[in-house]
A and B are shown apart, each in its own frame.
Chain A
Amino acid sequence: MTQRGAPDREVPPAAPLMGDPGPTGRFGEFGGRFVPESLVPACLELEAAFRDAWGDPSFRAELDGILHSFGGRPTPVTECVRLSGELGVRVLLKREDLAHTGSHKINNVVGQGLLARRMGKHRLIAETGAGQHGVATATAAALFGMDCVVYMGEVDTRRQELNVFRMELLGAEVRPVSSGSRTLKDAVNEALRDWVASVGDTHYCLGSVMGPHPYPWMVRELQRVVGDEAREQCRTLLGGRDPDVVVACAGGGSNAAGTFAGFADRTASALVGVEAAGGAALTVGVPGVLHGMRSILMQDEEGQILEAESISAGLDYPGIGPEHAHLAAIGRARYESAGDEEVVEAFGRLARSEGIIPALESAHALAWVLRAAGTPALPTGSTVLVTLSGRGDKDVGQVRDILRATTSGSRR
């Protein structure tokens, strides 16, 4: 990778850890609002609307009510008895796989759907990688009676065919994106292009803690419920103590941000985000600006954005949310990566030892736990909370194909 160029950093005012990033949307030197002028008024309007709604008890009560009666919240924390015995580390899972639509994405889309309705918008657009956010957005659109268009990289529509059909069943239109690398980053570009032309009646329901301000902040706040619930559930399970380590997978990083938000400034728990080895922005990336934000991005020596590539469509993003870049910079969280092979191993191991089939995305977090158990990062006898961001039903076909190819001797 390249040397970091001369930075154009400004000195930001000190903000509380995982708090309100203020009108500039800065997390340390990251974040901001790097969008075409056409979209600036929409971002300002959205920020004002979210600030207003988030401070309105009736909005919060309605959101909580829907997440409870429709979304299945609160999700439980499950103790992995057999796996803990095998690893010598107490493993707890925050079960977002049990939320409606099968992942944490529902928390975000119900919140943004309600907000869109409050703003008088009747059309939702979204990008999706693995299809989880697309399915969730299509679900919210059905729930609120809105039109819905989901942009999905052409490559991903093939990898996640069933999710395409699920979205269509829910009444959404899925538009395959054939520009660029035909994956998640290009789907974001295409959704932004749609939004520039449709901003009057359309809300862009962005799926992760990325994009221009207020998205990274808003999506983290809408996902904070994961971390807040988990913290209290852990304290009940652990006799008032917090887990030693809290782990979540990170593509854009929304389940990790929601999880970390519950722990960052209220506990001493170590925070670990796990990226896909082929999309490990925080391992191989450098600061840059893409999709409206300044963050850490995988780039070539000229500053062109590189294509991420991993087994999980949901983590195939060459960047990470700006707040994660900040948490890494100040050392409050650290970021690791997991390779495809160990991820498939973790996927099968959780299924066999605990009766839970995780999403391939979530299996990245588990893969790190398997690797780190018994090392100083996760010592024997310690307790780790893993956010299981989604269920693996969508990935079963893909894993079957990989395992068949492996056992038939054509490994690599």
Chain B
Amino acid sequence: MTTAAQPAGATAAQPAGATAAIGHLEERLRQMRDGGRKLLVPYVTGGLDDEWLLTVEGLASAGADAIEIGIPFSDPMIDGPTIQEASLRALRRGTTPEGILADLARLDTGTPLVVMTYYNLIAHNGPRRMAGIIAEAGVSGVIVPDLPLEELGPWADAADEAGLATVLLVAPSTPPGRIAAIADRSRGFVYGVGRMGVTGEQAELADSAREVAVRVTAVTDLPVCIGIGVSTPDQAVEVCGVADGVVVGSALVRRLLDGEGPLGAARFVRSLRQALDGGRTRR
């Protein structure tokens, strides 16, 4: 079980419930985007250590516009070494999906939460039951990276019913007609995959990150955030020349694995925030 204690300063809020989650994510992100703010979505592996809820709270106060929580799976196929190690570490602590969600239900940061997990953890419980549990935890969006458009049916229906936004991904390899179809079915925002490859830090922003941002923003009014291969404040600013925002995962999780703790994580996210705010005039 994820047994992280009630973090200091967290209010014991009632679970927000499905109705509160409806539209929460998209409304919030649109509002920010339309106000000229670049969106910052940090990722942290749920149940990574005893302090992970403090980390989430710290990210919220450091300027995150939404926070992505990874629910660890035994076989994280699209993740590189950093997130793999974090997942393994969390699982060895006895972290479970329901434990993470129970912990999240106690958080009230005011920042929308999005969970990311592989489809088996949903299928195993049944999409409808899992959507219910996720929504009851006050989470407003879900990313399922191994669930492409064609396989979306049972989950998307259950998620819609529970008021959860299913965030879909567009890859550099996605052909134009398909981009429009994905953007059309995506809720909350569209997750643009910055490079062909697994999650992980990169020394330089791939050309494909900008290209994906250009292609997706051209066909949708939804906020478009680029993730996978966005590791530094400079890279975040660069891709936000086109995109509405960024998702930063491995660069943050690596700091947690290195023992920088909630404070180090918050410091890093604040540096991303400041860089993005400095680049506000771009759009």
Stretch binding the partner chain, chosen from B5-13, B24-32, B124-132, B250-258: B124-132
Residues of B within 8 A of A35 (CB): 146, 148
Known contacts: A34-B151, A36-B171, A193-B80. The answer to whether A303 contacts B120 by CB under 8 A is yes
Cβ of A199 < 8 Å from any Cβ of B?
A: yes
- The yes or no answer to A189 lying at the interface (CB within 8 A) is yes
- B88-116: contact bitstring with A at CB < 8 Å (1 yes, 0 no)? 10010000111000000000000000000
Closest B residue to A197 using CB positions: B197
Tell whether A38 pairs with B173 under 8 Å between CB atoms, given A192-B77, A303-B125.
yes
- Say yes or no: B145 contacts A302, CB within 8 Å: no
B123 with A294: CB separation less than 8 A: yes
Smallest CB-CB separation from A192: which chain B residue? B77
Are B123 and A5 in contact (CB-based, < 8 A)?
Answer: yes
Q: What is the CA–CA distance of A304 and B120 in the complex, to the nearest angstrom?
A: 8
With A and B bound together, what is the CA distance between A7 and B123 in angstroms? 7
> CA separation between A41 and B84, bound complex, in Å?
25
B189 interface residue (CB < 8 Å to A): no
Chain B hits for A33, CB < 8 A: 148, 150-151
Chain A proximity of B85: nearest CB distance (Å): 9
Whether A121 sits at the interface, judged by CB under 8 Å, is no
Determine which residue in B147, B168, B170, B182 has the highest number of CB atoms from chain A within 10 A of its CB, and name it: B147
Q: Is the CB of B174 within 8 A of A37?
A: yes
CB distance from B2 to the nearest CB of A (A): 11
Q: Does B75 contact A (CB under 8 A)?
A: yes
Q: How far is the CB of A349 from chain B (nearest CB, A)?
A: 37
With an 8 A cutoff between CB atoms, is A289 at the interface? Answer: yes
Tell me which residues across on chain A come within 8 A of B120, comparing CB atoms.
288-290, 297, 299, 303, 305
Q: Does B193 contact A (CB under 8 A)?
A: yes
B193 surroundings in chain A (CB, below 8 A) = 36-38
Q: Which of A37, A185, A189, A289 contacts B171 (CB 8 A)?
A: A37
A32 on the interface (CB 8 Å rule)? yes
In the bound complex, residues from chain A placing their C-beta under 8 Å from that of B80 are 193
Total residues of chain A contacting the partner, CB 8 A: 44
Option from A34, A179, A197 in Cβ contact (under 8 Å) with B196: A197
B14 contacts the other chain (Cβ, under 8 Å)?
no
A5 touches B124 (CB 8 A): yes
Closest to B81 in A: A179
A35-B146 Cα distance, complex, nearest whole Å: 5
B151 in complex: contacting residue of A32, A196, A286, A303, CB < 8 Å: A32
Q: Evaluate whether A289 and B119 lie within 8 angstroms (CB atoms) in the complex, with A8-B126, A193-B198, A303-B125 already known.
A: yes
Question: At the interface, yes or no: B73 with Cβ under 8 Å from chain A?
Answer: yes
C-alpha gap A95/B146 in the complex (Å): 39
How far apart are the CA atoms of A292 and B148 in the complex, in Å? 10
Contacts of A24 in B (CB 8 A): 150
Cβ of B74 within 8 Å of any chain A Cβ, yes or no, is yes
List residues of chain B with CB within 8 A of the CB of A185: 75
Assess the A41–B173 pair: CB atoms within 8 A: yes
**Which residues A123-179 have CB closer than 8 A to chain B?**
179
Partner of B123, one of A8, A193, A199: A8
Q: Determine if B259 is an interface residue (Cβ-Cβ < 8 Å).
A: no
Which residues of A in the span 255-292 have a Cβ within 8 Å of any Cβ on B?
A: 286-292
Q: Check: B138 CB closer than 8 A to any chain A CB.
A: no
User: Once the chains bind, are A302 and B175 in contact (CB under 8 Å)?
Assistant: no
| Nearest CB of chain A from residue B170's CB, rounded to whole Å | 6
The residue that A303 contacts in the complex, of B76, B124, B172, B175, with Cβ under 8 A, is B124
CB pair B123 A289 closer than 8 Å: yes
Interface membership of B43, Cβ < 8 A? no
CB distance from B101 to the nearest CB of A (A): 12
CB <8 Å contact, B121 and A302: yes
CB closest residue in chain A, given B175 = A41
Partner of B96, one of A42, A192, A302: A302
Looking at the assembled complex, report how far the CB atom of B86 sits from the nearest CB atom of chain A, in whole angstroms: 12
Tell whether A180 is near chain B: CB-to-CB under 8 Å.
yes
Give the docked Cα–Cα distance between A9 and B157 (Å): 13
Contact A291 B77 (CB under 8 A): yes
Task: Encode contact with A along B138-158: 1 for CB under 8 Å, 0 otherwise.
Answer: 000000011111110111001
Contact call B146/A6, Cβ cutoff below 8 A: no
Is B137 engaged at the interface, CB distance under 8 Å to the other chain?
no
B147: chain A residues at CB < 8 Å are 34
Q: Give every chain A residue within 8 A of B150 (Cβ-Cβ).
A: 24, 32-33, 40
Q: Does A401 contact B (CB under 8 A)?
A: no
| Residue from A37, A180, A289 in contact with B169 in the complex, judged by beta carbons closer than 8 Å | A37
User: Assuming A290-B120, A299-B120, A302-B121, is B151 touching A38 (CB within 8 A)?
Assistant: no
Give the residues in chain B near A56, CB-CB below 8 Å: none
Report A1-27 residues with CB < 8 Å from chain B CB: 2, 5-10, 24
For the complex, is B78 an interface residue (Cβ under 8 Å from A)?
yes
A238–chain B nearest beta-carbon distance, Å: 44
Cα of A42 to Cα of B172 in the assembled complex, Å: 12
Report A339-365 residues with CB < 8 Å from chain B CB.
none
List the A residue with the shortest CB-CB distance to B182: A37
Find the B residue at minimum CB distance from A299.
B124
What residues of B have a CB within 8 angstroms of the CB of A9 in the complex? Answer: 154
Q: In the complex, which residues 74-115 of chain A have their Cβ closer than 8 Å to any Cβ of chain B?
A: none
Query: In this complex, what residue of B is CB-closest to A190?
Result: B77
Taking A197-B197, A289-B120, A303-B124 as contacts, is the C-beta distance between A40 and B148 under 8 angstroms?
yes
Which of A9, A32, A33, A290: most chain B CB closer than 10 A? A290
Q: B48-81 vs A: 1/0 string, CB under 8 Å? A: 0000000000000000000000000111111011
Interface residues of A (CB under 8 A from B): 2, 5-10, 24, 32-42, 179-180, 185-186, 189, 192-193, 196-197, 199-200, 286-292, 294, 297, 299, 302-305
Given A193-B77, A303-B97, output 4 extra A-B contacts at Cβ < 8 Å: A8-B154, A34-B148, A37-B173, A40-B149
A-B contact pairs, 29 of them (CB 8 A): A6-B127, A6-B129, A10-B154, A32-B151, A33-B150, A34-B119, A34-B146, A34-B147, A34-B148, A34-B151, A35-B148, A36-B78, A36-B146, A36-B169, A37-B149, A38-B172, A40-B148, A40-B149, A40-B171, A180-B88, A185-B75, A196-B78, A196-B196, A288-B120, A289-B118, A299-B124, A302-B121, A303-B97, A303-B123
Complex A-B, nearest 3 residue pairs according to Cβ-Cβ distance, in ascending order: A303-B124, A6-B126, A8-B154
